[in-house]
Amino acid sequence: MTIPTSPSSAIAGDAAIVTRGLTKRFGRSAAVDGLDLEVPYGSVFGFLGPNGSGKTTTIRMLLGLASPTAGAIRVLGHDLPRGLASVLPQVGALVEGPAFSSFLSGAANLARFDAADPTSSRRTRRTRVRDALDRVGLGAAAGKRAGAYSLGMKQRLGLAAALLGPRELLVLDEPTNGLDPQGTREVRSLIRSLAADGTTVFLSSHLLSEIEQVCTHVAVMRTGSLVTSGTLDDLRAQSAPRVRVRTPDAADATLQRLGLVAERVGADEWDAALREDLPVESVTAALVADGVRVRGIVVTGATLEERFVELTGEGFDVAG
């Protein structure tokens, strides 16, 4: 199948990334199968899925590192692969870990990356390299050999390479890999600041807490297909709300009588999915009527982890 390149025939819509029927086959196996994806401009878009779900293959196709078997791709208003030369200078990427010359300093490595960009200015190269290193907290290690960098420092250097110039789109594959808690917080803050400046961030991560704290939109893949996509709030809302009861007494009998499947989640806490037709006030009244001493009761939405397990049927492992 030929990949269509006409905007009118291939893709309609205004988004930073749009795919229609995107497919990648290896022999008889489809790593990505008919993917329809839309990443809004200015969003921080979390791309999730179990091992082997097709995330990395999708990212490689978005960056022109792999050719689709079928389907259409538009990035920043340009149809791919025809528009790659126009798109790539506007895209920063950190995919499958950074690769640097271990014998060169961090600054020298970035200078080489910058020199490889035909759109970059040699006159302002030193300033761009310095600013990129400062932005990821590597200014003091600019002159240190990259081979002596820790894993976390190498990851920061990869982020710096992605930020050498102004980018409309950042594609980040596991950007906090190898970072300590402080470094992880700093990267989250950096992503938020980039999004606040109008940069669209496409983020693949195995850390659900990271996705929940920084992303505005989420897509979930399973065995090469898109399971769901939308805002983070919409994804959570697709599950029934949950009720959590804090009490020193056994609350399971009452909750089960109300038709709820109760689980003890702490020494004095019980958790259950709340039926749509059962207001929390009725739960409280039933507990009190049964002599259960209620110290607290709260209704919460489903966590991203719970939704992920519901959608994929398995635990969270996004190495693929």
Range of the domain at 141: 7-236
CATH number of the domain to which 113 belongs? 3.40.50.300
Within this chain, do residues 37 and 16 fall inside the same structural domain, yes or no?
A: yes
Residue 103, CA distances (Å) to 95, 114, 180 in order: 22, 18, 25
Picking from 198, 214, 236, the residue at the C-terminal end of a domain is 236
Asked whether residue 133 is assigned to any structural domain, the reply reads yes
Within this chain, do residues 194 and 257 fall inside the same structural domain, yes or no?
A: no
Within this chain, do residues 90 and 229 fall inside the same structural domain, yes or no?
A: yes
* Number of structural domains in the chain: 2
Q: How confident is the model at residue 9 (pLDDT cuts 50, 70, 90)?
A: very low
Amino acid (one-letter) located at 286? A
Q: Out of 3-7, 30-34, 287-291, pick the least confident.
A: 3-7
Within this chain, do residues 55 and 138 fall inside the same structural domain, yes or no?
A: yes
- Per-chain mean pLDDT for the chain: 85
Q: What is the pLDDT of residue 31?
A: 93
Among residues 154, 161, 81, 149, the alpha carbon closest in space to that of 115 is found at 161
Picking from 236, 260, 275, the residue at the C-terminal end of a domain is 236
Q: How confident is the model at residue 295 (pLDDT cuts 50, 70, 90)?
A: very high
Within this chain, do residues 208 and 246 fall inside the same structural domain, yes or no?
A: no
Within this chain, do residues 178 and 255 fall inside the same structural domain, yes or no?
A: no
Amino acid (one-letter) located at 83? G
Q: Which two tokens stand for residue 226?
A: 């898109």
Among residues 218, 221, 227, 234, the alpha carbon closest in space to that of 46 is found at 218
Q: What is the pTM of this model?
A: 0.75
Picking from 180, 201, 236, the residue at the C-terminal end of a domain is 236
Asked whether residue 314 is assigned to any structural domain, the reply reads no
Is it the case that residue 318 has pLDDT exceeding 70?
no
Question: 286 by DSSP, 3-state: which?
Answer: helix
